Amino acid sequence: MTVTDSAPPGLGTGGGLVEEEAHRFRVHRSTMTSPEIHALELKRVFAHSWLYVGHESEVRNPGDYVRRPVGGRPVFMVRSVKSGVVRVFHNTCTHRGAVVCRKDAGNAKVFQCFYHAWSFDTEGRLVGVPGREAYGEELDLDALGLRPVVRTASYRGFVFASFDPDIVELDDYLAGAKEYLDLAADGLGDAEIISGTNQYAIDANWKLLVENSIDGYHAAPTHDTYFKYLVALGTDLRSGVDGIGRSLGNGHAVIDYHAPWGRPVAKWEPMFGDAAREEIDRIRAELVETYGEERAMRMAETNRNLFIYPNLIINDIMAVTVRTFMPRSASSMEVTAWELAPRDEMPQLRQRRLDSFLTFLGPGGFATPDDIEALESCQQGFRSGGVEWSDISRGMAREPRADDEEQMRSFWRRWNTQMTSSDGAGR
């Protein structure tokens, strides 16, 4: 099948790949395996969404920069030395194409392309061209600055970019997800991304990780070892997990739930140690004073797995992780995760937070290897054939709970709209 901007057969042609009727929601498994659909996703989903770039704390000082792929394209984010504004540039030299920013992070006043040494300042302006006289007076240096990604905006420190000049404002795009970003940001106060990342690859379609990240009922069977570990450390799991699953608009979704484990902000449990108890109580009292009893208790007591369409997860649980992922093909993806924490955090709490990041959420921890195994198992199962559809109907017959699948249906509805819309963008 030739890849074009048009939807492949089966997408939006009556008998679509996402089907919904009373109490029945199903997704055709070719959405997880087809190279044509993967190619179309790059053009429709990733070229017409707001995509997470990084957190402003990663470029706290003038000249600080980080480079990373966004939507599969090399870009870098830098705080201007002159204005302090955070900008996101396409990481390609305007001369003949080489990648200009070649380190993952650092501080610079000038970025010099290694190929022929054209130089750009942190505003993106071309400020140095070796052999300038060879071009005569007609060379317009202003026209040869680095190209900013066409749309860049931030919300509560989270920086997003879009390659679609006509996309809605970030504020409108985030819709109901803002409430949950606010809860995470307010709970942490002056927050920073802790230096270092988790990076790993999974041999599975990226949408399986979307589903998994907001799947509230796989935990008990899939992560049994971790729960036994918590019990061994003194956590009382008898109260279980209880909460809701919500669609937040524009494909975003959340599971919002009470769980037995502690939270550095601000729910003490024995594994934090007695020394941290006073500090957690202090944080909790401060939250109540600043935000009132009800909102403070929400921050302290409830956990939230927030999905921001199409590929950002913020897990505000026993630690706050920021995780983004990008398909490499229809059957593989790359994942990057960071840990977000209060800057002035007590060392014991920071240690516990980092332990949680590693022991549960990290690629060598108790949860992530289980999830990777589950996702790769699904991908292998798809190859078996014989079953065309996956069922995502759980909870359609009741008010959706955290252990239902409404939050996944929310993603799939938006995905289907983008993939089948006549304008190619899902506006």
For residues 250 to 279, the per-residue mask of contacts with ligand FES, x marking binding by CB under 6 A and - elsewhere, is ------------------------------
Q: Which of residues 17-36 bind ligand FES (CB under 6 A)?
A: none
d(CA 404, CA 16): 23
Q: Which of residues 57-96 bind ligand FES (CB under 6 A)?
A: 93, 95-96
- Which letter does DSSP use for residue 358 in this model? I
Q: How far is the CB of 67 from ligand FES (least distance, A)?
A: 15
Cα dihedral 140, 144, 148, 151, rounded to 10, equals: 50
Closest to ligand FES by CB, 97 or 240:
97
For residues 103 to 142, the per-residue mask of contacts with ligand FES, x marking binding by CB under 6 A and - elsewhere, is ----------x-xxxx------------------------
Q: How far is the CB of 309 from ligand FES (least distance, A)?
A: 35
Closest to ligand FES by CB, 65 or 338:
65
Asked whether the beta carbons of 379 and 388 are under 8 A apart, the reply is: no
d(CA 404, CA 23): 12
In Å, how far are 37, 39, 202, 311 from 329, measured between CA atoms? 10, 8, 11, 15
d(CA 101, CA 276): 42
What stretch of H or E contains 87?
strand 86-90
Query: Which residue type occupies 300?
Result: A
d(CA 74, CA 276): 42
Closest to ligand FES by CB, 9 or 97:
97
Q: How many other β-carbons are positioned within 10 Å of the β-carbon of residue 310?
A: 26
Q: How far is the CB of 183 from ligand FES (least distance, A)?
A: 44
Q: Please name which of 306, 402, 319, 310 lies closest in space to residue 361, comparing C-alpha atoms.
A: 319
Site size toward ligand FES (CB under 6 A) is: 10
Q: How far is the CB of 152 from ligand FES (least distance, A)?
A: 23
Q: Which of 97, 196, 270, 273 binds ligand FES (CB under 6 A)?
A: 97
Q: How far is the CB of 160 from ligand FES (least distance, A)?
A: 28
By CB under 6 A, residue 15 contacts ligand FES? no
**Given the rule CB under 6 A, which residues bind ligand FES?**
93, 95-98, 113, 115-118
